[in-house]
Structure 1
Amino acid sequence: MISQSKLGVSEVIGEKREAVLRLAEYYGARNVRVFGSVARGDATHDSDVDFLVDFPPG
C-alpha cells in the first residue's frame, strides 16, 4: 500500500486563495470557510475542497 502525504489548508488552497475570495465576492458570498478533510489537515492529492459560505438574504 502506498501512503499519501497529508495536506493542510495552505498546501491545498495556497496561491488560489485570492481567486476563491474574488469569486465569492463576485457572487455576493461572505464568510468563506473550509471544512472537511482539508480543514482537518488530512487531505491528500485526491481530496476535494469543501467550502461553506454565507449569502445575504434575497
Structure 2
Amino acid sequence: MDATLLADIDRRAAIEATSRSSVIRAALQAYLAGAPRGVLKISADSLRRIAEIGDRYGLASLEVFGSVAAGTATPASDVDLLYELRPGRRLGWEIEDLTAELAEVFGRPVDLVARTALHPRLKDAVLNQAQAIYAT
C-alpha cells in the first residue's frame, strides 16, 4: 500500500477509535457486499423523527461522521453524531435522553460529540467526513 492510502486508513482509524485492520476489514466487507461507500440512507420517517428531536432539544445541526458516514459500518458499529446547539441553548442531563432517542431512531447505539468539543487533531478530518442530517 502506498503511504497516502495508509495515512488515510490511519486517519479513519483515529476518528473511529479503532485499528487499521478493522478499517481495512470493514471497507473490504462493504466493497464485497456492493455497499456504496459514503452514502448515508435515512428514511423519510427517520428524518422527520430526527427533526422533531432536534427541535425539542434545541439543536442547530446534526451531522453523521465515522464509519456510518464512510459506508464502512458493521452491524456492531455505533452512529457517531456531531451536534451544535442553538444560541443560548444548553444541555445538562438531557444529553442522555437525546442520546437515547437518537439511538432509537437509528436502531443502534449513538455517540454524540459537540462540534465545540472536537479535538484539534481530529477536527479537520471529522468535518470533512461529516454529512448533515438536520439543520435549522
Q: Is the structural similarity TM-score above 0.5?
A: yes
CA positional deviation for 1:17:
2.5
1:16 aligns with 2:46: yes
Provide runs of 4+ in structure 1 moved above 4 Å.
Answer: none
Structure 2 CA distance for aligned equivalents of residues 21 and 47 of structure 1: 23
Gaps of at least 5 residues in structure 2 are 1-24, 89-136
Q: Judging changes above 3 Å, is the alpha-carbon distance between structure 1 residues 18 and 38 closer, same or farther for their aligned structure 2 residues? A: same
Deviation at 1:40, TM superposition (A): 0.7
Give runs of aligned pairs for residues 1-58 of structure 1, distance below 5 A. Answer: 6=30, 8-10=39-41, 13-14=42-43, 15-58=45-88
Higher helix share: 2
Highest CA radius of gyration, 1 or 2? 2
TM-score relative to the length of structure 2: 0.33
RMSD: 2.4
Deviations 1:17-36 (A, max 9, x none): 22122111111102210011
Using CA pairs under 8 Å that are at least 6 residues apart, name the structure with larger relative contact order, 1 or 2. Answer: 1
Structure 1: gaps (5+ residues): none
Partner of 2:14: none
Task: Count the aligned residue pairs.
Answer: 54
**How far, CA to CA, are the matches of 1:45 and 1:16 in structure 2?**
18
Question: What is the TM-score of this pair, normalised by structure 1?
Answer: 0.67
| Identical aligned residues as a percent | 35
Find the residue that maps to 1:52 and give its secondary structure.
strand
